[in-house]
Amino acid sequence: MSLELKLSGKAAIVTGGSAGIGLAIAKALYSEGVNVAIAARNSERLENAVSAIQSLPTPGAKVISINANLTQATDVEKVVSTTLTQFGQIDILINNAGSARAGSFLELGDDVLLDAWNLKLLGYIRLVRAVVPHQKNRGDGRIVNIIGGAGRTPRPGFVPGGTTNAALINFTRGISKELAQYNIRINAISPGATATERAERLAEQNAQARGITVEQAKAETIQSIPLKRIAQPEEIASLALFLVSDLAASITGAEILVDGGSTPGV
């Protein structure tokens, strides 16, 4: 038996596709022949990401970048309409853009909570709401929400991210039955510590909140993972590709943890 993904010719949106996990997923989709639209704020980073993606071998896919601040509902609409204009269809949505701050709870104001909820919770929900009518008409859709372990296993120093992620698990599972009637599958991947720029920033914020060095914070993170390794973004990308392929045709409403065994649960 061979694990053929058969994704060539499909079209995808990857939010936060200019760095980290999103960039790894965009690269993996493009390499499989999927036309990819990456959305993020910083234009220079977007251009660099497009060049990096285009340097990969592909069976004929295209990549475009869309400048968007996904805290804004109008930019969500722009991402969807631009992708439809360029590619004519949206088979795959990878909701990934997120940047919640870590820090001591008593020092975090409403602004930090609202930033996290606006970008990741409302941003993901708005994108699903915007692509579903199109996918419903086609009778096919594949959505992956990149969430995070703090949704299920909260930490005092990560309340903005933890509350966002808990709500997104609820949303992903809750909406899956409604979308299933249109053959739209929606699943979640919850990474643990993954080697990206964001992980570096979080280690700095954690260290500051706890009065320890960044090196100590990173060493503690690795020590706390049963498999003693930080995940690579490509590992999250491989799982995302599987979930959006027909190999996962019966999987919807699931959340899969990629956290080195940190949070076993029932």
Ligand X SMILES: NC(=O)c1ccc[n+]([C@@H]2O[C@H](COP(=O)([O-])OP(=O)(O)OC[C@H]3O[C@@H](n4cnc5c(N)ncnc54)[C@H](OP(=O)(O)O)[C@@H]3O)[C@@H](O)[C@H]2O)c1
Q: Which of residues 139-158 bind ligand X (CB under 6 A)?
A: 146, 148
Helix H segments across 64-213? 73-87, 110-116, 123-138, 159-180, 197-210
Q: How many Cβ atoms sit within 10 Å of the Cβ of residue 200?
A: 12
Q: Could you tell me the smallest distance in angstroms from the CB atom of residue 2 to ligand X? A: 30
Taking the complex as a whole, the smallest distance from the CB of residue 46 to ligand X amounts, in Å, to 7
Count the residues of the shown chain that bind ligand X, applying the rule CB under 6 A. 29
Task: Select from 35-43, 56-64, 151-159, 212-220 the region that touches ligand X (CB under 6 A).
Answer: 35-43
Upper half-sphere CA count for residue 262 (Cβ side, 13 Å): 26
Contact mark string toward ligand X, 77..116, x via CB under 6 A: -------------------xxxx-----------------
Q: Minimal distance in Å, beta carbon 19 to ligand X?
A: 4
Listed ranges 68-76, 125-133, 152-160, 174-182: which one lies at the site for ligand X (CB under 6 A): 68-76
Which stretch of DSSP H or E encloses residue 242?
helix 233-244
CB 124 within 8 A of CB 100: no
Please, which residues have CB within 8 angstroms of residue 172's CB and are 6 or more apart in sequence?
145, 147, 186, 187, 188, 253, 255
Nearest residue to the partner ligand X, using Cβ: 20
Half-sphere exposure of 255 (CA within 13 A, CB side): 26
Which residues lie near ligand X (CB under 6 A)? Answer: 16, 18-22, 40-42, 45, 68-71, 96-99, 119-120, 146, 148, 191, 193-194, 196-199
